[in-house]
Amino acid sequence: MPHPRLDAIAISSTNVDRSIAFYAALGFDFEGEGAVRMDGHVEPVRRAGEPRLMIDGADLMERLTGEAPRGPNHSVFAMLCDSPAEVDRYTALLVEAGGTVVTAPWDAFWGQRYATVADPDGYRVDLFAPL
């Protein structure tokens, strides 16, 4: 029997333009062919083999669900970087784009360079690469 598959990851944002700048720093393309921009909703170009990233304005989500969205207190994205140096580089880029370091880059005991950065609305992004 077929089973459902992960198609999209959705977050909400109190300032969609600010969120676009943050996720663009990770390499998401919000301008290319296939990017979606509607009132209160954006999606970058979908990369081959990856789920869609959907960013919805907090006002839209409150209208749809009847309650104000709340950012999580745990990681919702885990981004594999090409090298340990890339973990450090992307951490710095995300801070410049409005993010906040939750866990500074470090060489984790499980064999990865690892960091966590919160986006402007509190959604956390893990950055990691094998050591």
Instruction: Specify the pLDDT at position 74.
Output: 76
Instruction: Specify the pLDDT at position 32.
Output: 96
8-65 matches 75-130 in fold: yes
Secondary element (H or E) of residue 85:
helix 84-96
> In which region does residue 27 sit, left (phi positive, over 0), alpha (psi from -120 to 50) or beta (all else)?
left
Q: Which CATH superfamily is domain 8-65 in?
A: 2,3-Dihydroxybiphenyl 1,2-Dioxygenase, domain 1 (3.10.180.10)
State the pTM of this model.
Answer: 0.89
**Mean pLDDT value across residues 46-57:** 94
Residue range 75-130, CATH number? 3.10.180.10
| φ, ψ for residue 17, nearest 5 deg | -60, -40
Tens-place pLDDT, residues 67-125: 998 877 776 789 999 999 999 999 999 999 999 999 999 999 999 999 999 999 999 99
Instruction: Specify the pLDDT at position 89.
Output: 97
- The mean predicted confidence, pLDDT, of the chain is 93
CA 63 to each of CA 54, 60, 118, 121: distance values in angstroms, whole numbers, following the listed order? 17, 5, 25, 18
